[in-house]
Amino acid sequence: MNIEVNLPLLLLVSIISDIDLLIPGLEHRGPTHSLIILTLLFLPLFRVYGKKAAPYFVAIIQHSLIGDYVTGGVQLLWPLTTHIYGLAFEATSLAAVVLEWGFFLASLTIMLKMKDIQKLLQKHPSNLLLSVPVATVLLPTLASFPLSVPLELILPHLAYLTLFILSILLDVKYVLRKTQNACTCVGEHLLRLRVLTL
């Protein structure tokens, strides 16, 4: 399946289920992590975009099936049942740390092989979407919100954080340069008008 993917959007979609952390009264790893709800939400996207929606669907369900299933558990079949499915490893357990490192190394290998890191380090307006993943890496790593990150996982968090921030800064630099050029052009135009009116 040869599909062009917007990587910043894909990364945003992969964590969007955790929006429940910001909604008072909504249980974390409940409705927004349900495979039933996520599938229903993606049906219109599949209808409109066809197979182009597939990578984004995989990104959003992997959050529930891999990350949350392993560390704690998730209501995969909500609203049919509120049963929590998962391995329930503590985030600080050796098993969870080894799995996290495995997923990190696998994703890093894939990103290198697919040249995704190079793509992220090129200017593109959607790179600003990485602000949300930056917050999701920064908050647990530096502020222990909504959970604390084991010391053994700081390095993968910092690697993602560095990549995302560099990508955002490249876009911010591009936007600032473009704005500066536009201001210079406007200033020159106003100066010419002033000279003409004298």
**The pLDDT of residue 96:** 87
Please state the domain count of the chain: 1
Is 130 among the domain residues? yes
Distance CA 41, CA 33 (A): 12
Is 85 among the domain residues? yes
Distance CA 82, CA 64 (A): 14
The answer to whether the beta carbons of residues 33 and 14 sit under 8 Å apart is no
The answer to whether the beta carbons of residues 124 and 171 sit under 8 Å apart is yes
pLDDT along the chain (198 residues), means of 10: 88 92 88 97 97 96 90 92 92 89 94 93 90 82 69 89 92 86 73 68
**The pLDDT of residue 80:** 97
Is 163 among the domain residues? yes
**The pLDDT of residue 52:** 96
The structure's pTM equals: 0.82
Is 1 among the domain residues? no
Please spell the DSSP secondary structure of 145-184, one letter per residue.
-SSPPPGGGHHHHHHHHHHHHHHHHHHHHHHHHHHHHHHH
List for the chain the helix, strand, coil content (%; round to 5): 75, 0, 25
**The pLDDT of residue 24:** 86
Is 129 among the domain residues? yes
**The pLDDT of residue 110:** 93
Distance CA 146, CA 138 (A): 11
The domain of 86 spans 7-197
**The pLDDT of residue 180:** 83
Is 162 among the domain residues? yes
Is 124 among the domain residues? yes
